[in-house]
């Protein structure tokens, strides 16, 4: 897991935008009273949030793993290992950018 202090503001903003808000019936009731909706990642596992952040950052960098790893504050090796694990679980992994490792 990436320590929160190492996430760049760009990567965190990308996560927030990609995950949106939670739309349960309970939230609909609170929204009627003007309460803010909870972010979608509230109640999600850290693994799911991390996977979403990594895949969204990779898509944002057009598959450039080196740039994505830099934005995420992790090594390229860690990123490759995580992508391998996600692919084994059936996640769609964007192809590497041309000329990228």
- pLDDT band for position 64 (50/70/90)? very high
Is residue 94 a contact partner of residue 56, using CB atoms and an 8 Å limit? no
81's tokens:
């290992």
- pLDDT band for position 43 (50/70/90)? confident
- pLDDT for 1 equals 42
Asked whether residue 78 carries a pLDDT value surpassing 70, the answer given is yes
72's tokens:
């995420």
Quote the pTM value.
Answer: 0.60
Q: Beta partners for 39?
A: 21
């Amino acid at each position: 897991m990436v320590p929160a202090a190492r996430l760049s503001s760009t990567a965190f903003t990308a996560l927030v935008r990609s995950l949106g808000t939670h739309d349960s019936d309970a939230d609909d009731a609170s929204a009627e009273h003007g309460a803010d909706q909870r972010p979608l990642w509230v109640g999600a596992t850290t693994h799911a949030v991390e996977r979403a952040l990594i895949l969204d950052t990779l898509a944002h960098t057009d598959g450039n793993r080196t740039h994505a790893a830099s934005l995420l504050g992790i090594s390229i090796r860690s990123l490759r290992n995580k992508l391998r694990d996600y692919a084994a679980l059936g996640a769609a992994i964007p192809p590497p950018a041309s000329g990228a490792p």
